[in-house]
Amino acid sequence: MTIKKIAVVGSGFAGLATAWHLSKDYEVTLITSPHQKHSASTVSAGLLHPYVGPKAVNNWRGEEGVQSTLHLLNIASDALGKKVYNDDGFLRIAASSKQENFFRECADRNSDVRWLSVEECQKMVPGLVKNPGVFIESGVTVYPNLYIQGLKLALKNRGVLFRNDIIDSAKNIEGYDKTILCVGAGVFHLKGLPDLKLLPVKGQILQIPWPDNLPPLPYSLNSKVYMVMSIDQKSCFVGSTFERNFENERVDLNTACSYILPKLYALYPPLEGIQPTDCKTGIRVTAPGHLPLIQQIAPKTWIFTGLGSKGLLYHSLLSANMSLS
């Protein structure tokens, strides 16, 4: 059967990238929920690098993933006329002596990773906890909502159709030759989905007002928590929780503050005592093996999910290589 018309459901990182790559060859309609309430992409901290995880090992196809995402980031930036990311690099600060060893090995293995002594870290970010770390020169901080806005514009410019709808079951949508479900944690609400052994992990992120008497952080930081300055540099996003047992998908400020704030004060003592002005939450989806999942689940229906904490690393690479035959 000749494939002509494709429905992509979901406008998080996965859905937007899938719509972009497939729209080169097919007529694509992007079906988006009028509420972004299940979208993890909109609350993502935006960290992109190929050494995700406490051991900082080289992630599977990590460098390719970064390059593929950079390609889409530039498409979104061109469409908006504004850069949707910064590529100044970022600092990972060792949280234990065991992690120090992993970071040293990462720096030995990779030319874009530089080992930093305590003094060098302090020089880069005065006031920081007195621990060593690594500087990831290729590290990128994405502004997720700008990226999403830019990519939507690029899709519209390319002729992709947009439709507002909420899909309730995992079957092909009438009128399309194929349907690709990129619904993130929406999978847990779909009827008729086979058991894919997917698990939800709730993530909450705090927004902290940045004090006038402190210089903005020159780089994003990542340790037991990460710190990312807002574009206007007036606040900082700090996260995140990794909640495997949670009651509901709503913001739970007590849990977020008790997990994040002590780690924030330890990492960057000048902020001791500061309280958040906002808290956002999203649900990550993890698949078996902690790798993303692209699977055909019915004759005309595919699912792309399981991006876990590596959505930015893998959404473009994997959707660019999706085979629907």
- Which residues of the shown chain bind ligand FAD in the complex (CB under 6 A)? 9-15, 31-33, 36, 38-41, 43-47, 166-167, 182-186, 203, 205, 239-240, 282, 284, 305, 307-313
Q: Which is nearer to ligand FAD, 62 or 203 (CB)?
A: 203
CB of 174 to ligand FAD, least distance (A): 15
Read off the tokens for 207.
Answer: 């927004």
Q: Which is nearer to ligand FAD, 122 or 145 (CB)?
A: 145
CA distance 18 to 13: 8
Q: Which is nearer to ligand FAD, 131 or 179 (CB)?
A: 179
Residue 309: how many CA atoms within 13 Å on its side-chain side? 19
How far, CA to CA in Å, does 207 sit from each of 144, 252, 265? 15, 14, 14
Helix axes 62-80, 13-22, angle to 10 degrees: 80
CB of 1 to ligand FAD, least distance (A): 25
Under DSSP, the state recorded for 43 is G
Q: Which is nearer to ligand FAD, 123 or 189 (CB)?
A: 189
Burial zone of 41 (CB within 10 Å; 0-12 exposed, 13-18 middle, 19+ buried): buried
Residue with tokens 């970022």: 90
Q: Which is nearer to ligand FAD, 108 or 199 (CB)?
A: 199
CB of 233 to ligand FAD, least distance (A): 18
Q: Which is nearer to ligand FAD, 62 or 282 (CB)?
A: 282
Kindly report the backbone phi and psi dihedral angles of residue 114, in degrees, each rounded to the nearest multiple of 5, phi listed first: -115, 125
How far, CA to CA in Å, does 88 sit from each of 91, 138, 208, 223, 323? 10, 8, 22, 18, 35
CB of 29 to ligand FAD, least distance (A): 12
CB of 279 to ligand FAD, least distance (A): 10
Helix (H, G, I), strand (E, B) or coil at 107: helix
CB of 156 to ligand FAD, least distance (A): 16
Neighbour tally for 192: CB within 10 Å = 11
Q: Which is nearer to ligand FAD, 118 or 298 (CB)?
A: 298
Burial zone of 124 (CB within 10 Å; 0-12 exposed, 13-18 middle, 19+ buried): middle
CB of 46 to ligand FAD, least distance (A): 5
